[in-house]
Amino acid sequence: MMLFQSSRLPDPDPHRYVQLIAYTLRNPSFKSADACAACGLSEKEFRFVATSIYSLSAYQEQKGTPDETQHWILRPEAYFSYLQYLEFRHALKASRIASSLAVVAIVVAIISVGLTFPRETLLEKECRAWAENTMRDMADRDRRAACPPVRVGPV
């Protein structure tokens, strides 16, 4: 259920660096050219990011080529930052669901309050009509008893 969808911004695509970390978690051994193609990075940008998110060996820093399959090890900071990113995305999704459920709860509350207002049922209408007729008959009887009819003419 997506109430008020138009007022929310769409989920952005993950940044290319986040995509690179996810790619590394799925495939720890890969060619840097394959990772660049999958994540939309240039080789220069990959090398720049690699120094920040990977624990690089001296060979990877100096002699690695884009077409050579290598084993890439994420730094703990990169891994935990990625986990924080996933938690943040999950929190956003959970808050949207909670907001939708809150709106549904408010609507249900309004409907239930509307249904609890006093309404006259058919039985109540019949009882009220019977009581009014009975009271009218009793009032007529009391009036007749208090003022007997006047007889006109010979007695």
Q: For the chain, which residues make up each domain, given as ranges?
A: 13-96, 116-146
Q: Mean pLDDT across the stretch 89-104? A: 93
CATH of domain 13-96: 1.10.10
Comparing 40-54, 97-111, 118-132, the range with the smallest average pLDDT is: 118-132
Nearest to 41 by CA among 24, 62, 57: 24
- pLDDT (0 to 100) of residue 149: 65
- The pLDDT tens digits for 2-31 are 444 545 556 667 889 999 999 999 999 999
- pLDDT (0 to 100) of residue 38: 92
Give me the half-sphere count of Cα atoms (radius 13 Å) on the Cβ side of residue 8. 14
Predicted TM-score of the model (pTM): 0.60
Average pLDDT over the chain, rounded to an integer = 83
- pLDDT (0 to 100) of residue 69: 87
Quick one: pLDDT band at residue 1, thresholds 50, 70, 90?
very low
- pLDDT (0 to 100) of residue 18: 92
- pLDDT (0 to 100) of residue 34: 92
Report the percentage of the chain scoring pLDDT > 90.
Answer: 42
Q: Mean pLDDT across the stretch 47-65? A: 80
